[in-house]
Structure 1
Amino acid sequence: MIVEVTRDVLAQLHEEARRAAPEECCGLLLGHGGTITQARPAANIATDRRIHFEIDPVALLAAHKAERAGGPRLIGYYHSHPVGPCVPSATDQEHSTGDSRIWAIIAQSEVAFWHDKANGFEALPCRVVEPNVAQGVPEN
């Protein structure tokens, strides 16, 4: 499995992490097919946002409702690690649900993608695509 993500989404993830530091940012990864075309920020409602994240359930429910109405598919989630590498932390591992969604973790100048599988996280390679290609529009 290879994750496809637009350049715009990668730039937004870096910007969200920069803006939230020293706290963790978090949000939703949306798209069509297997391509991430949107990053939707969500409030981090964790008690200690410097070392944890918890996506606002209102944002999560809204994304599910929009998907059922024909909107973009909820592909996964993102959050930042203001201190440390872009690998799932022990806390991330504890919160793994095995729902097959993709997690993006932003740390320093990197974004890494992870597949939340029944037996933990698996690193995923990433292919950057242009927004018009991701949306099925031919390039000129």
Structure 2
Amino acid sequence: MLTIRRDAYDEIVHHGYAGGDEEVCGVLAGEHGADASRVTDVSRVENVADAPQIRYAMDPEAQLQRIDEIESRGLDVVGFYHTHPTGPARPSAVDADRATWPGYSYVICAFDGHPYLGSWRWNGEEFEQETVAIAEE
């Protein structure tokens, strides 16, 4: 299960709208657990993919910098997020090929009609969908 604070959820949605027809991405921070995690903060990372309309690739140096910042604040990396501007609201084959953090959440916010945010944990071989709960605090 993934619990995400309302302000973190809103940040992902607003980042997605700002990206227009290109995928945006970032790192999720908070409390990481084996079965349940809580997102309290979102850190944007530039998408440097060669075709940002259909895939994402985080700038490696910026991603490492964000992870260092998160850990220096005493938080855990919970996972990562990116958008699918035209859907679907599930991981693609490319997302699975590029997943590298087993046990962590991969959030996808899709905008095909209205914003939908879903989350999947990568088990090292495939994504397993997890329940998402929005928390006010």
Question: How would you bin the TM-score normalised by the shorter chain?
Answer: 0.7 to 0.9
Contact 1:63 1:74 in 2 (8 A): no
Matching residue of 1:17: 16
Matches within 5 A, 1:45-56: 45-56=48-59
TM-score (norm 1): 0.85
Q: CA deviation at 1:119?
A: 2.2
TM-score (norm 2): 0.87
Contact 2:106 2:120 in 1 (8 A): yes
Aligned sequence identity (%): 27
For the pair shown, the structure with the greater C-alpha radius of gyration is 1
Aligned residues: 130
Q: Are 1:86 and 2:89 counterparts?
A: yes
CA RMSD of aligned residues (A): 1.5
* Per-residue deviation, residues 71-115 of structure 1 (Å, max 9, x unmatched): 321111000001121100111111122521101101011000110
Contact 2:43 2:66 in 1 (8 A): no
Q: Which runs of 4+ in 1 moved over 4 A?
A: none
Distance 2:83 2:67 in 1: 22
Gaps of 5+ in 2: none
Q: Which residue of 110, 113, 117 corresponds with 2:116?
A: 110
